[in-house]
């Protein structure tokens, strides 16, 4: 059991300390990065502000190089709570568009990764032949491949959710395949011998021993996979000029130099990532509890 | 045909190839075990007791010689479910409760729910683990875990039990109790038991024959007949006959050791 006290000293205090440090550094960076542009501007306008007044100005530019935290927070608030869910400006709506592609891609990637891992563990020839290709697949830069996939699929009439989800799949199957190969091979020799004394079939060994033994590996790898899926979905939204999704907001923001909007969209993306990873974590803990893991 | 031995080994050799050379784990093992016998393998560690048991169980293949189990190859015997094997460690699945661990082989055999439940109950009773069905292995002491693993082997109801130092990690009192229970089980069911032990009193108390082994290479030094009759209360261990056999085993072990070049 985590008591309130443990929670505060063990979790909350360190997390808040880091957060405070980030905010301080961020404000500092906003001054440093916005100062040259602002000085330039003031020189042309013939103004000259100094000290605190100047610093405050760097934190309140309409199109800053680096928006200040409170500007991002205000924009984030406006685009989440301040607009209707159905609005094209709602970050919740756009997050949902991205999340649905993420989850579809993640589900397909996880399934593919597990199937590949089971095949590799059961067919020795695949271990040698398939694994190098899988590793090679991940050395291809996704930013280069994504537009090709999107354009090719659009050419055969596949648009919308699926192309983005496929990029998520491409990124997420890999950690699952690698983690599950390890997990499915993790049973003790002793346990394998025990199953042999029962003359258990390969599928019985798989279901009763390999798969339960691989559960911790599974959750460790889908935690990586779900984050990769989110990246994949966002990247998938970039090249198409997609009309919706966090990626489209990032792109629109950069067209019009709306740095504050870009940051607000980034925050939305980070919150999605945290939510997804936390969800995986909680599920993993619940499953391990059910499997009798020592608390 | 009733005289055909259950286990018949002829000139078995087993050489392990390891990174730094080869180890002769078994050398020229010739041994017949009849149905219903209780045979103990005793000897210093590294003399091949575990390896011999594993060859019988088809977990290891001999590199020379021949062996039959139930008149057929060890592999066929294993596929027929000829034996229940108790490992030196409990080898319970940590994600299964005690009852579910005992259920494991029964699931693999495809038994019905009712039969499964009654076998689980009966065998957990036998090893005094009633009430621990829903516990996970880590919640039990090492001795209780080992008893659960014995229940699991017995639940299969095999004609033959292969036991590798099953009571090695248990304290004296639990060990005495399980020795008595095992003897009772053997006397009533007439199962064939091959039992590896380090303990001379345990071997003499339980066995009909004691195989004294010696190391490097692992071989049979001497086979000692040891029948104290079917009825063996624990205090038979103070009788002259018991002490005489125990002495003989001790001498055998000592000679086996001094054979070494
Ligand atoms: N899988 C293995 N690979 C290599 N050497 C082994 C293996 N198993 C056992 N041995 C060696 O074989 C010999 C006999 O081992 P073992 O049968 O376990 O002895 P015991 O059970 O009597 O202590 C030992 O020298 C041991 O190191
Ligand atoms: Mg041993």
Model confidence band, residue A277 (pLDDT cutoffs 50, 70, 90): very high
Residue A230's pLDDT is 95
Residue B85 and residue A204: Cβ atoms within 8 Å? no
- Asked, for residue B1, whether it belongs to a domain, the answer is no
**CA nearest ligand 1 atom 1, residue:** B16
Q: Are residues B56 and B151 in the same domain?
A: no
- The residue out of B157, B188, B213 marking a domain boundary is B157
CB-based contact B249:B224 (threshold 8 Å) = yes
- Asked, for residue B132, whether it belongs to a domain, the answer is yes
Q: Does B138 touch chain A (CB under 8 A)?
A: yes
**CA nearest ligand 1 atom 12, residue:** B25
> Which one, of B126, B133, B114, B194, lies nearest residue B158 by Cα?
B194
Q: Are residues B163 and B72 in the same domain?
A: yes
Q: For strands B192-197 and B38-42, give the pairing.
A: parallel
- Considering only the beta carbons, identify the residue of A191, A198, A199 that sits closest to B93: A191
Ligand 1 within 6 A of CB of B191: no
* Domain CATH number, residue B167: 3.40.50.300
pLDDT, one tens digit per residue, over B25-61 is 999 999 999 999 999 999 998 999 999 999 999 999 9
Q: How far apart are CA A69 and CA A54, in angstroms?
A: 17
CA–CA min distance B177, chain A (Å): 25
Q: Are residues B107 and B223 in the same domain?
A: no
Residue B1's pLDDT is 45
Residue B91 and residue A292: Cβ atoms within 8 Å? no
The domain A91-290 having CATH identifier 3.30.530.20: the answer here is no
Q: Does B205 touch chain A (CB under 8 A)?
A: no
Residue A294 and residue B138: Cβ atoms within 8 Å? yes
> Looking at residue B10, what DSSP letter applies?
E
CB-based contact B16:B185 (threshold 8 Å) = no
Residue A241's pLDDT is 61
Residues with CB under 5 A from ligand 2 (ion): B 50
Q: Are residues B243 and B167 in the same domain?
A: yes
B138: enclosing H helix or E strand: none
Q: How far apart are CA B123 and CA B117, in angstroms?
A: 10
Mutate to test the pocket of ligand 1, among B48, B57, B166 (most ligand atoms within 8 A of CB): B48
Q: How far is the CA of B88 from the centre of ligand 2 (A)?
A: 7
Residue B83 and residue A197: Cβ atoms within 8 Å? yes
- Asked, for residue B219, whether it belongs to a domain, the answer is yes
- Considering only the beta carbons, identify the residue of A195, A200, A292 that sits closest to B136: A292
- Domain count within chain B: 2
Closest CA in chain B for residue A193: B59
Q: Give the gyration radius of chain B's Cα atoms.
A: 18
**CA nearest ligand 1 atom 10, residue:** B25
CA–CA min distance B240, chain A (Å): 40
- The residue out of B133, B157, B181 marking a domain boundary is B157
Q: Are residues B228 and B182 in the same domain?
A: yes
Q: Are residues B245 and B147 in the same domain?
A: no
Model confidence band, residue B105 (pLDDT cutoffs 50, 70, 90): very high
Domain ranges of chain A: 4-66, 91-290
Q: Are residues B77 and B112 in the same domain?
A: no
Q: Are residues B165 and B240 in the same domain?
A: yes
Q: How far is the CA of B152 from the centre of ligand 1 (A)?
A: 25
CB-based contact A230:A191 (threshold 8 Å) = no
- Considering only the beta carbons, identify the residue of A197, A198, A212 that sits closest to B95: A212
- The residue out of B110, B134, B157 marking a domain boundary is B157
Ligand 1 within 6 A of CB of B48: yes
The whole-chain average pLDDT of chain B stands at 91
Model confidence band, residue B238 (pLDDT cutoffs 50, 70, 90): confident
- Would you state the structure tokens that stand for residue B170, as one six-digit string? 């248990």
Q: Are residues B164 and B245 in the same domain?
A: yes
pLDDT, one tens digit per residue, over B114-160 is 999 999 999 999 888 999 999 999 999 988 999 999 999 999 999 99
pLDDT, one tens digit per residue, over A155-212 is 888 888 888 899 999 999 999 999 999 999 999 999 999 999 999 999 999 999 999 9
- Would you state the structure tokens that stand for residue A232, as one six-digit string? 């994949």
Greater model confidence, A10 or B207:
B207
Q: How far is the CA of B45 from the centre of ligand 2 (A)?
A: 6
Per the structure, the complete domain to which residue B185 belongs is given by: 7-82+159-258
Q: Does B4 touch chain A (CB under 8 A)?
A: no
Q: What is the ipTM of this complex?
A: 0.93
- Asked, for residue B2, whether it belongs to a domain, the answer is no
Q: How far apart are CA B77 and CA B62, in angstroms?
A: 16
Q: Are residues B253 and B215 in the same domain?
A: yes
Q: Are residues B75 and B142 in the same domain?
A: no
> Which one, of A169, A174, A173, lies nearest residue A104 by Cα?
A169
Residue A257's pLDDT is 82
Q: Are residues B169 and B249 in the same domain?
A: yes
């Amino acid at each position: 059991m985590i008591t309130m006290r443990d929670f505060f000293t063990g979790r909350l205090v360190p997390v808040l300390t880091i957060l405070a440090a980030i905010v301080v550094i961020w404000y500092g960076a906003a001054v440093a990065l916005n100062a040259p542009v602002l000085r330039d501007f003031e020189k042309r306008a013939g103004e000259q502000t100094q000290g605190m007044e100047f610093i405050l100005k760097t934190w309140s530019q309409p199109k800053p190089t680096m928006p200040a935290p409170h500007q991002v927070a205000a924009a984030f608030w406006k685009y989440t709570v301040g607009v209707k869910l159905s609005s094209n400006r709602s970050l919740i709506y756009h997050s949902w568009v991205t999340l649905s592609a993420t989850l579809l891609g993640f589900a397909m990637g996880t399934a593919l990764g597990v199937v590949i891992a089971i095949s590799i563990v059961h067919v020795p020839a695949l271990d040698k032949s398939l694994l190098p290709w899988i590793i090679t697949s991940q050395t291809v830069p996704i930013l280069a491949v994504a537009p090709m996939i999107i354009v090719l699929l659009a050419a055969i009439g596949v648009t919308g959710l699926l192309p983005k989800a496929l990029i998520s799949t491409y990124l997420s199957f890999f950690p699952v395949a690698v983690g599950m190969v390890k997990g499915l091979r993790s049973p003790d020799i002793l346990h394998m011998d025990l199953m042999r004394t029962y003359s258990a079939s390969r599928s019985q060994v798989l279901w009763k021993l390999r798969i339960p033994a691989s559960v911790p590996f599974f959750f460790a790898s889908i935690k990586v996979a779900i984050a990769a899926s989110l990246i994949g979905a966002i990247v998938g939204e970039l090249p198409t000029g997609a009309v919706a999704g966090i990626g489209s907001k990032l792109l629109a923001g950069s067209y019009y130099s709306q740095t504050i909007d870009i940051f607000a969209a980034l925050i939305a993306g980070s919150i999605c990532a945290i939510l997804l990873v936390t969800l995986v974590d909680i599920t993993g803990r619940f499953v391990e509890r059910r499997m009798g893991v020592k608390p | 045909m009733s005289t055909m031995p259950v286990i018949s080994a002829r000139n078995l050799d087993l050489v392990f190839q390891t990174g730094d050379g080869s180890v002769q784990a078994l050398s020229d093992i010739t041994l017949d075990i009849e149905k219903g016998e209780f045979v103990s393998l005793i000897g210093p560690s590294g003399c091949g007791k575990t390896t011999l048991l594993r060859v019988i169980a088809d977990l290891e293949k001999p590199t020379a010689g021949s062996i039959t189990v139930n008149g057929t190859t060890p592999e066929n015997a294993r596929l027929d479910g000829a034996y229940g094997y108790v490992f030196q460690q409990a080898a319970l699945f940590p994600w299964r409760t005690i009852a579910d661990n005992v259920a494991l082989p029964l699931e693999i055999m495809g038994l019905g729910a009712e039969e499964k439940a009654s076998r689980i109950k009966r065998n957990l009773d036998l090893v005094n683990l009633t009430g621990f069905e829903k516990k996970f292995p880590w919640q039990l002491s090492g001795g209780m875990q080992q008893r659960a693993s014995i229940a699991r082997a017995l639940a299969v109801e095999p004609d033959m039990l292969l036991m590798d130092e099953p009571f090695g990690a248990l304290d004296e009192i639990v060990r005495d109790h399980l020795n008595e229970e095992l003897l009772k089980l053997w006397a009533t069911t007439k199962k064939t038991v091959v039992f590896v032990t380090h303990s001379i009193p345990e071997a003499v108390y339980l066995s009909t024959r004691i195989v004294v082994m010696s190391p490097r290479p692992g071989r049979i030094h001497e086979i000692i007949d040891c029948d104290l009759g079917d009825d063996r209360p624990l205090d038979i261990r103070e009788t002259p006959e018991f002490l005489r056999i125990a002495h003989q085993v001790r001498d055998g072990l000592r000679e086996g050791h001094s054979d070494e070049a």
